[in-house]
Structure 1
Amino acid sequence: MQTHWKRTFAIIFSGQIFSILTSSMVQFSIIWHLTETTHSAVVLTIAGLIAFLPQALLGPFIGVWLDRLNRKLTMIAADSAIALFSLVLGLYFYWGEPSVAFVCFILAVRSIASAFHAPSFQAAIPLIAPADQLTRVAGWQQMVMSAANIIGPALGIAVYSAASLGVVLLLDVAGALIANLMLSLIKIRQPKPESLEAPRYFQELKLGWRAFIQVKAIVVITAAAAVFSVAFMPLATLFPFMTLSHFERGGYSASVVEAVFSAGMIIGGTLLSVAASKRKDIAYVSSSLIVIGATCAASGLLGKEAFIVFVVLSFMMGAASPFFNGPYMAMIQRAYDPMMLGRVISLVTSVMLLASPIGLLLAGPVVDRYGVQSWFLGAGIVTALTGIFLLVQMKNLDIQERQGS
């Protein structure tokens, strides 16, 4: 049994890395294509919102269906839908140039399918791995995602430049097929419903919400995670701006920062998978926020000549990130009944996704008025204080989590 679940995850992740890699290639290539063809910031903003808003808005409502449906088949169906519409758009490029509206439609469909796939995968993990190994599995997942997200944009732009966006989209079809083939080779037990009565959608939706709020530890940490997302998520777009405007360096330096941050995430995921059971998950979560906050705030205090220090701090931020994401998801997977996990994970995912545009709306005026380094400093202070708050509350949160699990 001890090696069986590890072998199962080896098969799953070996397929998922192809799917995540090719999806990353497509997302970057589509944005690059729109940049080249429209030269419009408005179009890029709209495309970015379309790429994640359906997933964010539909998440809580889709969760009910995720808990009713077979999770393995749901993942396969969602990946197949993404592959189908990638194929349609890819073929369209061979016939002619698709309109921006059609490209945005494809992005929306991919986002809807992702709203089914990602929570189904997370909800399936505790059905395969032992409870005391969930944090280790989260570390493996962070490694796979980080590696794919580093290689994806570079590989995507290389294929796009050498061939076309159509070829990138066809590779995405291949990636989905490989992921589905690997999933078909493993067995995931489906949790049995508590009753055989005909399901009532809104009643089940309310049950999922009530289950979520009953575990006070998860509610508090989710609220803290929302604050963290509002403060930190805008940095995804501000890192290049920090390099260009504050340090007065070019695109090569900006790409180095991105690569170093992602490399830190890979190493952080590796360390998490090794050290998973040595500390409580809430200790990892709070410590991660403190480190991210301290390095972010320090970045905001750097002078123009300290670019190398910024690179080092970016690596530390990246390395600390998996220690928040992985243990937080493992706590959720342990705290709730498998029959409720789809609803809870979809709800939490939506909270995180909706926090991002709020942060961007706040960051824009602040950066324009006070400079990009001011947001790094302010976001770092808010993040560190959030981590300190969770650290102080650690004992109470841990007791409440055990009661809820």
Structure 2
Amino acid sequence: MPTYRELFTHREFRFLYAGQVLSYLGDQVAAVAVAVLVYDRTQSALLSAVAYASAWLPGVLGGPILSTYADRLPRRAVLIGCDVARALLIALVAVPGLPLWAAIALLYLAHLFSPPFVAARAAIMPEVLPGEAYITGNGLSNITHQLSQLLGFVAGGVVVAVIGPVWSLLGNAATFALSAALITIGVVRRPAALTGDGPQGLLAQSREGIRYIVADPWLRTCLALVWVASGFSFAPEAIAYPYAASLGGGPAQAGLLLAAPSAGFMVGAILLTRVVTPERRDRLLRPAAVLSTLALVPALAGPGLTVLLVLLVLAGAGASFLVPLNAVFVRRVAPEFRGRAMGVAASGLLVVQGLGFLAAGAAVQAGLSPSTVVGLSGLLGTAAVLGTRFARDRVEAPTG
């Protein structure tokens, strides 16, 4: 397996990776800023969750369709266009005096550009990193994502407390602009993956991509496990600020609650992609998926901050089973379908996480304590994960 250092001998990867780091860090700071901005203005856990879910729910509005552009158009152009659009829209959210409903609407509009961006980036990576370098690069990208969440959420709580949510959002807009510039400079132009063969309409091509996934039993069951586990295991993020407030804390404590799962995920991803053998990794995927939700169940007892952080770290470590599955998923899909397949996968993930965020916020708003909501998420999630076929059957890498 290539080392992490060897990945940076590929010029395009260096620029894509630098842009990824910038935008990820900005996103995590902005996530804390949005939660604080809305909750401080409304004192509503539900509205805070609605705003926080803006990074996820737009996938249900058109993610699978919009991600088709990652196959229809040159993927470099899709990446640049999405970054520029998000930079402008997030900057508008920070306009002083903007009504809250308008700010939330702009957040949702900005995040409509996330599914095509994620699809285009995932689809182009096997072309940037050949062979086994892609497996290593995919692992590094996921680890970097979690590390940026760890640092961004911890720093985000402090940054928002010091400079306020408005300047934090402007910083997030700047990271998108810098990412677009890096991609413009460092990524080569490639033609669109789709040719003149097959259906030509946007909707027809979107349906073709969905049918491609549905026709493959392994892809179907893989997505089922990923979506079910993620919908429950990440739901507590939406109520991190109200949870911290219930424990007598503020933005800094909320940042710790958001960072803990990322720390666990990062450690688990390193173990699964760089330490254990492929055979042992396959045997660990099922128990890891169960751990991602089971670790949340003890929150029903209402533990203090320290114990809660340990539980969230364990849940994040279990959720790292997503990393090796993602690499196998992308490599299985034919190149001309990768944008659409990853769009469906990413959009479904955004949807289930967004619904989980809304459910968690609504439960707290209805009167349940945050600890009860987290514990119930773990209990229901464990039952759902154990009920998936992929969790019961032996995990095997597909052939062909």
| Shorter-chain TM-score tier | 0.7 to 0.9
State the 4+ residue runs in structure 1 displaced beyond 6 angstroms: 239-245
Distance 1:241 1:163, change over 3 A: closer
How far apart are residue 224 of structure 1 and its match?
Answer: 2.2
Partner residue in 1 for 2:84? 80
Q: Is the 8 A contact 1:295 1:380 kept in 2?
A: no
Partner residue in 2 for 1:124? 124
Q: Return the match for 2:350 from 336, 353, 369.
A: 353
Q: Return the match for 2:341 from 314, 339, 344.
A: 344
Q: State the secondary structure of the residue aligned to 2:76.
A: helix
Q: Is the 8 A contact 1:78 1:116 kept in 2?
A: yes
Distance 1:45 1:294, change over 3 A: closer
How far apart are residue 140 of structure 1 and its match?
Answer: 1.0
Distance 1:233 1:256, change over 3 A: closer
Partner residue in 1 for 2:68? 64
Residues 1:112 and 2:112 are matched in the alignment: yes
> Which letter maps to 2:24?
I
Partner residue in 1 for 2:399? 402
Q: Is the 8 A contact 1:300 1:376 kept in 2?
A: no
Q: Is the 8 A contact 2:272 2:281 kept in 1?
A: no
Number of equivalences: 389
CA–CA distance in 1 between the matches of 2:368 and 2:264? 29
> Which letter maps to 1:73?
A
How well do the aligned residues superpose, as a CA RMSD in angstroms?
3.5
Q: Which of the pair has more CA radius of gyration?
A: 1
How far apart are residue 40 of structure 1 and its match?
Answer: 3.4
Q: Per-residue CA shift, 1:268-308, capped at 9, x if unaligned?
A: 233344248634875453242133244334x257x567865
Q: State the secondary structure of the residue aligned to 2:376.
A: helix
Q: Per-residue CA shift, 1:217-242, capped at 9, x if unaligned?
A: 11012122232234323233466777
How far apart are residue 59 of structure 1 and its match?
Answer: 0.9
Superposition map of 1:21-36 within 5 A: 21-36=25-40
Q: Is the 8 A contact 2:71 2:336 kept in 1?
A: yes
Residues 1:19 and 2:23 are matched in the alignment: yes
Partner residue in 2 for 1:296? 296
> Which letter maps to 1:108?
Y
CA–CA distance in 1 between the matches of 2:240 and 2:190? 43
Q: Is the 8 A contact 1:238 1:372 kept in 2?
A: no
Partner residue in 1 for 2:314? 316
The sequence identity of aligned pairs, in percent, is 19
> Which letter maps to 2:399?
R
Q: Is the 8 A contact 2:269 2:317 kept in 1?
A: yes
CA–CA distance in 1 between the matches of 2:223 and 2:30? 30
Partner residue in 1 for 2:264? 264
Q: Is the 8 A contact 2:115 2:343 kept in 1?
A: yes
Distance 1:25 1:260, change over 3 A: closer
Partner residue in 2 for 1:205? 206
TM-score by length of 1: 0.81
Partner residue in 1 for 2:175? 175
Distance 1:133 1:213, change over 3 A: farther
Distance 1:259 1:47, change over 3 A: closer
Distance 1:327 1:74, change over 3 A: same
Structure 2: tracts of 5 or more residues without a match: none
How far apart are residue 317 of structure 1 and its match?
Answer: 2.1
